[in-house]
């Protein structure tokens, strides 16, 4: 309607109006879709209270900012030399100086009081319904359900975004870099205590929607907590620089109803029993290679590369044509125990005998390498 009435009065208006309309439409749909202005929507009371505190402080700051700089710009406008303003000579005023020391101090008390209440609440990790230990590992998260329903479940959560998307060889998906193979699953409205630690360097476990962030420090235990108040999937990223793939170890938490959670726990436990491989079973080379390729893609590819050429920058040697890899009995000890002071970690703690046997067989028989297979029983025998 407004465009057609404009057309009547201004003959050239349609094209201009259309262009402007298209431009504005694109701009604002882009704004609405793509722009984030504030903290992520809260899914816990703590996160909501953090938002409130942030807004309260921002309003105070904005008011002071406008006040002080309104004063300054008034000065700039009214007392400029080009207008002929003569400088006065005063250079101190005790009362004013006392006031502008005391008043900010009072405002700070107004800020500190609500912040203090929240700090105390944030630190209270007692009386949890479910306790989960999360271990930061270069570059994935391991979750162990320690106490509460689901006790005994363990899962390792690795980025599932394909490398083709990262390297621009495939279009990027909706949850690019924020998706994992195994999500942490927790029940809604239950207090979840997260105990953090790390296997190698400092990581930081963070889910913005819960207002929970806690560094994961190798050799030490720390804890934080959250109580999700709605079901859904919540995503975050590692928040402490932990080496090359720091940007590629997301945290994904699926919050489900109590009923669904119980169901998930049941399925998970059954699946674990079913998947448990019998380490005494003899596997064929082809079976091991097929399984090994998957293990390699999830654990080794970031440093040793899909081509097996390694990354000298992170001291990851080439596996292709590597005599140490193809020699007998294969690098079982290296994979089990890792190499100190490198990103080559002790995979014995993360992978089963079958997985280790499979991945070693895979690297011994890929990229032109040729050697015998390694059986799970051999790996089991070398575990200390």
Partner 1 sequence: MSAVIDHDHAHGHHDHHGGYGGIMRWITTTNHKDIGTLYLWFSFLMFGVGGIMAVVIRAELFSPGLQFVNPDFFNQLTTMHGLIMIFGAIMPAFVGFANWQIPMMIGAPDMAFARLNNWSFWLLPFAATLLALSFLMPGGAPGVGWTMYAPLTVQMGMGMDFTIFAVHLLGMSSILGAINIITTILNLRAPGMTLLRMPLFVWTWLITAYLLLAVMPVLAGAVTMTLTDRHFGTTFFNAAGGGDPVLYQHIFWFFGHPEVYVVALPAFGVISQVIPAFSRKPLFGYASMVYATSAIAILSFIVWAHHMYTTGIPVSGQLFFMYATILIAVPTGVKVFNWVATMWKGSLSFETPMLFALGFLFMFTLGGFTGLVLALVPVDIQLQDTYYVVAHFHYVMVAGALFAAFAGIYFWLPKWTGKMYDETLGKIHFWLTLVFLNMIFFVQHFLGLAGMPRRIPDYPLMFETWNKISSLGAFGMGLAQLLFLYIVVKCIRSGAPAPQKPWEGADSLEWTHLPTPVPYHSFETPPVLH
Positions 285 through 314 that interact with partner 1 (CB under 8 A) = 311-314
- Residue 237's CB is within 10 A of a number of other CB atoms, namely 18
Which range binds partner 1 by CB under 8 A, 10-18, 144-152, 264-272, 336-344?
336-344
Among 149, 240, 293, 333, binds partner 1 (CB under 8 A): 240
262 contributes a contact to partner 1 by CB under 8 A: no
Stretch that binds partner 1, among 65-73, 150-158, 263-271, 376-384 (CB under 8 A): 65-73
Q: Closest CB to partner 1 among 90 and 127? A: 90
| C-alpha pair distances (Å), 1 with each of 6, 16, 247 | 9, 15, 49
DSSP 43: S
- Based on CB atoms, which residue is closest to partner 1, 226 or 283? 226
Segment interacting with partner 1 (CB under 8 A) among 194-202, 281-289, 292-300, 320-328: 194-202
Q: Which residue in 72, 276, 306, 327 binds partner 1 (CB under 8 A)?
A: 72
- Output 105-113 pairs: Cβ under 8 A, ≥24 positions apart: 107/60, 107/64, 110/60, 111/56, 111/57, 111/60
For residue 225, the tally of other CB atoms under 10 A from its CB is 24
User: Mask of contacts with partner 1, 198-227, x by CB under 8 A?
Assistant: --xxx-x-x-x--xxxxx-xxxx-xx----
Question: CA–CA distance from 147 to each of 129, 152, 251, 262 (Å)?
Answer: 8, 8, 21, 14
CB 304 to partner 1: min, Å = 14
Residue 293 near residue 308 (C-beta atoms within 8 A): no
Q: Which is nearer to partner 1, 172 or 270 (CB)?
A: 172
Binders of partner 1 in range 114-133 (CB under 8 A): 115-116, 118-120, 122-123
Q: In the chain, what is the straight-line distance between the N-terminal and C-terminal CA atoms, in Å?
A: 80
Please select the residue that binds partner 1; options are 13, 17, 57, 320, rule is CB under 8 A.
Answer: 57
Instruction: Select from 20, 59, 66, 108 the one that contacts partner 1 (CB under 8 A).
Output: 108
Instruction: Verify binding: residue 167, partner 1, rule CB under 8 A.
Output: yes
Please say which residue, 213 or 382, places its beta carbon nearer to partner 1: 213
Long-range own/partner contacts, residues 324-328 (CB < 8 A, 24 or more apart): 325/363, 325/364, 325/369, 325/371, 326/364, 326/369, 326/370, 326/371, 327/371, 328/371, 328/372
Q: From the CA atom positions of the chain, what is the Rg in Å?
A: 29
Q: Does 229 bind partner 1 (CB under 8 A)?
A: no
Of 137, 135, 138, the closest CA to residue 154 belongs to: 135
Q: Which residue, 297, 303, 145, 173, is CA-closest to 235?
A: 173
Cβ closer to partner 1: 213 or 254?
A: 213
Name residues contacting partner 1, limited to 314-333 (CB under 8 A): 314-315
Segment 355 to 384, residues that bind partner 1, using CB under 8 A: none
State in angstroms the smallest separation of the CB of 22 from partner 1. Answer: 18
């Amino acid at each position: 309607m407004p465009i057609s009435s404009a057309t009547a009065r201004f003959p050239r208006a349609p094209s201009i109006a259309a262009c402007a309309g298209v431009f504005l439409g694109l701009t604002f749909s882009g704004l609405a879709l793509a722009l984030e202005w504030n903290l992520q929507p809260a899914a816990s009371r703590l996160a909501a209270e953090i938002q409130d505190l942030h807004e309260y402080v921002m309003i105070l700051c904005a008011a002071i900012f406008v006040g002080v700089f309104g004063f300054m710009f008034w000065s700039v406008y009214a007392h400029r030399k080009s207008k002929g303003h003569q400088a006065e000579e005063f250079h101190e005023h005790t009362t004013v100086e006392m006031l502008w020391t005391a008043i900010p101090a009072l405002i700070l008390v107004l800020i500190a009081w609500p912040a203090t209440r929240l700090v105390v609440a944030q630190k209270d990790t007692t009386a949890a319904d479910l306790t989960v230990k999360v271990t930061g590992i270069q570059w994935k998260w391991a979750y162990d359900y320690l106490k509460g329903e689901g006790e005994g479940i363990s899962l390792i959560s690795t980025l599932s975004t394909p490398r083709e998307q990262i390297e621009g060889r495939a279009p990027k998906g909706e949850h690019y870099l924020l998706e994992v193979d195994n999500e942490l699953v927790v029940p809604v409205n239950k207090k979840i205590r997260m105990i953090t630690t790390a296997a190698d360097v400092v990581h930081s476990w963070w889910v913005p929607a819960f207002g929970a962030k806690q560094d994961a420090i190798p050799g030490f235990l720390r804890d934080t907590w959250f109580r999700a108040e709605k079901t859904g999937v919540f995503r975050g990223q590692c928040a402490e620089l932990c080496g090359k793939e720091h940007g590629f170890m997301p945290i994904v938490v699926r919050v489900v109803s109590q009923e669904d959670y119980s169901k998930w726990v049941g399925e998970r436990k059954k699946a674990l029993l079913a998947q448990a491989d019998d380490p005494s079973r003899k596997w064929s080379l082809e079976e091991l290679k097929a399984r090994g390729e998957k293990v390699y893609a999830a654990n080794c590819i970031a440093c040793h590369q899909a081509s097996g050429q390694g990354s000298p920058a992170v001291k990851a040697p080439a596996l292709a044509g590597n005599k140490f890899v193809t020699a007998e009995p294969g690098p079982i000890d290296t994979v089990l125990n890792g190499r100190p002071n490198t990103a080559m970690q002790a995979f014995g703690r993360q992978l089963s005998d079958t997985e280790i046997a499979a991945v070693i067989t895979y690297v011994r028989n890929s990229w032109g390498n040729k050697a015998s297979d390694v059986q799970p029983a051999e790996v089991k025998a070398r575990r200390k």
